[in-house]
Structure 1
Amino acid sequence: MDKLDANRRSENMSKIRSKNTAPEILLRSLLHRAGYRFRIHRKDLPGTPDIVFPNLRKVIFVHGCFWHQHPDCREGRVPGSRREYWQPKLARNQERDATAIKQLIQQGWNAMTVWECEIEISHEDLLNRIKMFLHPMK
């Protein structure tokens, strides 16, 4: 059962953004301080990746654990109430993510997903993982 009434829940949900989320801005800041330059939200690429490194042909998606159903996270679970609504909705997000990554690969791009919970844990470890993704031989 939802702890909020319908109007309050609607107000909360209307404030959720798909671009320029706090985790995305934090990751962009980390990358910029590390000397990386990139583009954001390239609409001409499948899935409109959050961070794009055009010269390297690599993209990073910053996914919210709930909205994209992170399997290794407590937040990545279907709510107990209104499951008949949430399950198909969240499954569509996962299908859309998989399709976008498949299309990017077919176009010669490499994609990486960074989960919201990963950004909150260790910035140094995350930055090292991204460096390995961007420059695998270094």
Structure 2
Amino acid sequence: MFTKKKRSEIMSKVKSQDTKPEIAVRSALHRLGYRFRLGGGGLPGKPDIILSKYRTVIFVHGCFWHQHPGCKKSKIPAQNSLFWSKKLSRNKERDKRVRAELEKLGWKVKFLWQCEIHPSGLPGQLRNIFNRGNHEIR
């Protein structure tokens, strides 16, 4: 359990983009020959990675912020738990809504969880994503 000041300090250092997992995924995609855009491209939910050629978007989700089911990193803090529970529940609802909006627009939506991103296994993981979507690997 952290003091209010310490919790604030920790949370102020949390980045919303260019996180280590995001950079690892982008690097692996680039090595595999995929070209992509960043920054949301005006799409609902501001996807982390947009592969226009494949009509596919990738969200690199932090396990805590998006409440990865069964992950130890998704534990709600004991301090101010009601606040966190409500906030994180809203995040999950938003994720569902954004996915539905993107799929309605004809986009394939993929989620990668922070705890499942291991640089050595990423190329295979990404190949599986695209092979399941019937996208040819160059």
TM-score normalised by the chain length of structure 2: 0.89
Q: Secondary structure at the match of 1:55?
A: helix
Confirm whether residue 123 of structure 1 aligns to residue 131 of structure 2: no
Alpha-carbon deviations, 1:50-76, whole Å to 9, x = none?
000112111000000010000031112
- 1:58–1:134 contact (8 Å) kept in structure 2: no
* Amino-acid identity (%): 44
**Runs of at least 4 residues of structure 1 off by over 4 A?**
none
- 2:67–2:92 contact (8 Å) kept in structure 1: yes
TM-score normalised by the chain length of structure 1: 0.89
User: Which residue among 40, 43, 47 is the counterpart of 1:42?
Assistant: 40
Task: Please report how far the alpha carbon of residue 79 of structure 1 lies from its aligned counterpart in structure 2 after TM superposition.
Answer: 2.4
- 1:118–1:126 contact (8 Å) kept in structure 2: no
1:18 alignment partner in structure 2:
16
Alpha-carbon deviations, 1:3-52, whole Å to 9, x = none?
x3222221110111111111001110011011110001224101000000
- 1:46–1:100 contact (8 Å) kept in structure 2: yes
Give runs of aligned pairs for residues 76-115 of structure 1, distance below 5 A.
Answer: 76-115=74-113
- What amino acid is the match of 2:134? H
Q: Secondary structure at the match of 2:40?
A: coil
Aligned length: 136
